[in-house]
């Protein structure tokens, strides 16, 4: 069974360019999460979806960031325009369903991450 798939694995771009990160969750998982990981700030939740609908985007740092989930098997995170401070590893994760306040269904399975470098 394939895990969470992310592409590209590495992205190097120049400041001002548009960057699109892609994610395919585990089939059957209803929840999809986008995280950003940096040395300074650790792991930050950016946004999450339930059944393709964005539920909480309070972690999205600025209007330059946007995320979509057009169907159950695909999501994108877009940064436009990109800046050097956006350099980080971006993870996508998926989970089955919420447990009754914290059940095993909450277990999130992570993709391999996309290492973004903005020059």
Within 3-62, which residues bind another protein (CB under 8 A)?
Answer: 31, 33, 42-43, 45, 48, 50, 55-56
Stretch (H or E) spanning 91: strand 88-95
Q: Does 89 bind another protein (CB under 8 A)?
A: yes
Shortest separation between residue 16's beta carbon and another protein, angstroms: 26
Stretch (H or E) spanning 7: strand 5-7
Place of tokens 């950016």: 46
Size of the site for another protein (CB under 8 A): 29
In eight-state DSSP terms, residue 25 is: P
Shortest separation between residue 13's beta carbon and another protein, angstroms: 19
CA–CA dist 92, 47 (Å, integer): 10
Stretch touching another protein by CB under 8 A, among 11-19, 61-69, 70-78, 86-94: 86-94
């Amino acid at each position: 069974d394939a895990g969470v798939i992310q592409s590209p694995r590495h992205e190097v771009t120049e400041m001002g360019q548009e960057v699109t990160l892609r994610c395919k969750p585990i089939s059957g998982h209803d929840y999809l999460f986008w995280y950003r990981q940096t040395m300074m700030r650790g792991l930050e939740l950016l946004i999450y979806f339930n059944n393709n609908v964005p539920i909480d985007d309070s972690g999205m740092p600025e209007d330059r960031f946007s995320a979509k989930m057009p169907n159950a098997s695909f999501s994108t995170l877009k940064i436009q325009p990109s800046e050097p401070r956006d350099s980080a590893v971006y993870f996508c994760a998926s989970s089955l369903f919420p447990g009754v306040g914290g059940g095993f269904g909450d277990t999130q399975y992570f993709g391999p991450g996309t290492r973004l470098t903005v020059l």
